[in-house]
Structure 1
Amino acid sequence: MEIVGRGFLARSLKPLAGGHPGAVVFAAGVSSAPSTAQAEFAREAALLYEVLDHCRARGRRLVYFSTCGGGLYGTGDGPSREAGPVFPATPYGRHKLAMEGVLRASGVPALVLRLAYTVGRDQRGHQLLPSLLRQVRSGTVHVHRGSRRDLVHVDDVVAIVDALLARGAGNDVVNVASGFAVPVEDIVAHLETRLGVTAERRYVDVADDHAVCNDKLLALLPEHARPAFHAGYYRGVIDRYLDGPDTRPLREA
């Protein structure tokens, strides 16, 4: 398997590099959902075009990481599904949807994985859990009132990629999420419990209570490869992050 990229997700996928011949995983996209930098989007697009040419020339199939956040799906009634309507609410969401359109028109077999908030070691500091951890440790944390986040551990993402490629999945769009959108307050509270501290909350009225359906993912995965998703799964994600060999977020580029 060829892995395109050098960041957090690409590094996490390295254990799969020796398997899945004929697959190319594009893990070099923009990593910041709030990003509005058109130059960053343009760089990702240009690299994706090159990788698609490579896949066409060599008969490869591609795995592309998109997002299942509210920035792509927008707001709506009930959990968002892959076949449902998409109303991108942010530049990042519109960019990811445009890249998905490029893949559909490319003629290359492509598996689009719309990721939830992925958590793991060596993440950059702007990403959700490292940012909240840094704030809690500082004694003050900014909380978007009423917001919820679906957390998934990067080790589970890697196992899901492995299982989907093993069964030959392609030309499909799949939400990769736990299926449980957790109040950010609960995430902060578990961080406080683990660290033995209490942080002052400063609330911001930017509600985002977006939820994602993972029924399609669970149907595609063999039973032995399904992560143990449940209402308290997020606590295990946080624990694995804190108990890992290195929980210090990388410096911003």
Structure 2
Amino acid sequence: MTREVIGRGFLAEYLRQHLPPHVSVTILAAGVSDTSETSPERFRREATMVSKTALRCREGGRLLVFLSSAATGLYGREGEGREDSRVTPVSPYGQHKLAMERLVANSGAHWLTLRLSHVVGPRQNPAQLFPSLVRQVRSGTVMVHRGARRDLMDVRHFATVLDRLLALGVRDRTVNVASGVAFPVDEIVTALEAGIGRSANRTFLDVPPENLRISNQRMRALVPEVAEFGFGPRYLDSLVSRYVGRRVGTVGSPPHGHGDWGYV
């Protein structure tokens, strides 16, 4: 049995289509993904799935790749989020993800935990950040969480990082997968307006200020290729240019000649 991807969401489907095969690897890309989730039942279901998958990987000698989160719920709203620092989650979601990471690490299976920032790509769930904001801008009114910031990562770059980590045989480690730049949500909306070609009326909801910077030093050290990804102030514009078009429509198959252009 070669590479196995568990899950039916955006990331799982992308990895099935684009990640090269790796022998004896199980990628767990399923479970709770809503950072505002508080349901004990949903958390229990994921814990059961993670436990069973880890047991199967241990018995089969397979590497378990667990996709976790680098969200503020895990790392907090301020400072630098580092893999080797003491983590004190500030939300039920963050507490749950940290518990799942510990379950994986203590399972007896070899493991690789990736703490992901906000991944952007084609055919995302409409409730996720980019497609949600795109839909709101096109409707003419957008809700901006004033004080919030988001670190964004192109799904292509995430898949490249994962592929390289697997090829290098990295295991029993936690790695942040993030651009290292957190854009204010208001700035993200402005970039989307430019990409779509229309302005929207903004309503504001004040949230606790976020100044978290997700460290990507470990990722950069393990995968030097990320130096070519273009991380920095212009990275947001590159995501908008690739995934957001000016025509009105819904998320679906990209039009002919536009590759993975997913929000047209």
Classify the TM-score, shorter chain.
over 0.9
1:142 aligned counterpart, secondary structure = strand
Q: Tell me, in whole angstroms, the C-alpha distance in 1 between the residues paired with 2:124 and 2:18.
A: 19
TM-score between both structures, scaled by the size of structure 1: 0.92
Is residue 43 of structure 1 aligned with residue 42 of structure 2? Answer: no
1:30 aligned counterpart, secondary structure = coil
Greater RCO, 1 or 2 (C-alpha within 8 Å, sep 6+): 1
RMSD, aligned α-carbons: 1.7
Q: Tell me, in whole angstroms, the C-alpha distance in 1 between the residues paired with 2:62 and 2:29.
A: 16
- Greater Cα shift, 108-117 or 227-236: 227-236
Which residue number in structure 2 is paired with residue 84 of structure 1?
85
1:159 and 1:225 in contact (8 A); partners too: no
Which residue number in structure 2 is paired with residue 251 of structure 1?
none
Q: Tell me, in whole angstroms, the C-alpha distance in 2 between the residues paired with 1:111 and 1:54.
A: 15
Which residue number in structure 1 is paired with residue 143 of structure 2?
142
Q: Tell me, in whole angstroms, the C-alpha distance in 2 between the residues paired with 1:225 and 1:161.
A: 15
Opposite residue 203 of structure 2, the aligned amino acid is: R
TM-score between both structures, scaled by the size of structure 2: 0.88
Match of 2:262 among 242, 246, 253: 246
Is residue 160 of structure 1 aligned with residue 129 of structure 2? Answer: no
Which residue number in structure 2 is paired with residue 174 of structure 1?
175
Q: Deviations over 1:139-197 (max 9, x none)?
A: 11111112211000111111111011000011001110000111111110011111121
Opposite residue 234 of structure 2, the aligned amino acid is: G
1:1-253 aligned at under 5 Å gives the runs: 1-15=3-17, 19-77=21-79, 79-206=80-207, 207-223=209-225, 227-243=229-245, 244-247=260-263
Q: CA deviation at 1:125?
A: 1.4
Q: CA deviation at 1:75?
A: 3.0
Identity within the alignment, %:
43
- Greater Cα shift, 205-214 or 5-14: 205-214
CA 23–226 in structure 1, closer or farther in 2 if over 3 Å, else same: farther
CA 226–64 in structure 1, closer or farther in 2 if over 3 Å, else same: farther
2:58 and 2:110 in contact (8 A); partners too: no
Which residue number in structure 1 is paired with residue 251 of structure 2?
none
1:69 and 1:210 in contact (8 A); partners too: no
Q: Tell me, in whole angstroms, the C-alpha distance in 2 between the residues paired with 1:108 and 1:225.
A: 32
Opposite residue 154 of structure 1, the aligned amino acid is: V
1:83 aligned counterpart, secondary structure = coil
1:75 and 1:87 in contact (8 A); partners too: no
2:144 aligned counterpart, secondary structure = strand
2:220 and 2:226 in contact (8 A); partners too: no
Q: Tell me, in whole angstroms, the C-alpha distance in 1 between the residues paired with 2:10 and 2:78.
A: 31
Q: Tell me, in whole angstroms, the C-alpha distance in 2 between the residues paired with 1:186 and 1:76.
A: 19
Opposite residue 215 of structure 1, the aligned amino acid is: Q
1:141 aligned counterpart, secondary structure = strand
Opposite residue 138 of structure 2, the aligned amino acid is: R
1:175 aligned counterpart, secondary structure = strand
CA 96–231 in structure 1, closer or farther in 2 if over 3 Å, else same: same
- Greater Cα shift, 149-158 or 139-148: 139-148
CA 18–215 in structure 1, closer or farther in 2 if over 3 Å, else same: closer
- Greater Cα shift, 29-38 or 162-171: 29-38
